[in-house]
Amino acid sequence: MTTDIIIEDDRWSALGLDLLAETAACAALRHLGLDPEGFEIAVLACDDARIAVLNGDFRDKPTPTNVLSWPSIDRTPDSLPQGDADMPHELGDIAIAWDTCAREAAEAGKSVADHVTHLVIHATLHLLGYDHINDHDATVMETTETEILGNLGLADPYSQD
């Protein structure tokens, strides 16, 4: 798999986002039975000001958020793309904001790396057609995220404990 990282905020460099994003996205794809070598994802590592502009432009919500994703095409979890290592399939783009991620991690008492791993997995699932618009879809997506995180040795982010 190739995650193409564009760092606009240098705080992401100290976190090692390149390896973290690659690990998280590959874990999500493998969990779904997909070969990571057949896919590409672009990741924009930015700050709250930049993501607020993107959120306003694309979702009509001009406020910061933790992560945004734009799939290359509309798909559903029932129609996962087949990758090709010789000509990787572009899944789409992700933008992630340092300020919101760091604040959320501190509020939850977890490391920024663990929180960002969860958010990259979450965004990768969105690129693959998963969503949380209704209760059923949210349960499916959250269960999938929790399983992937567990495979990486990370805690369930939805646990009330």
Shortest CA distance to 95 belongs to which of 73, 116, 74? Answer: 116
108, two tokens: 């939850």
Please report which helix (H) or strand (E) contains residue 71, including its range: strand 67-71
Known binding site: residues?
A: 122, 126, 132
- The answer to whether 116 and 58 have CB atoms below 8 angstroms apart is no
Known binding site for Zn(2+): residues?
A: 122, 126, 132
Backbone phi, psi, residue 86, to 5°? -75, -30
For residue 87, what are the CA distances in angstroms to 2, 4, 83? 11, 15, 8
Please report which helix (H) or strand (E) contains residue 15, including its range: helix 11-15
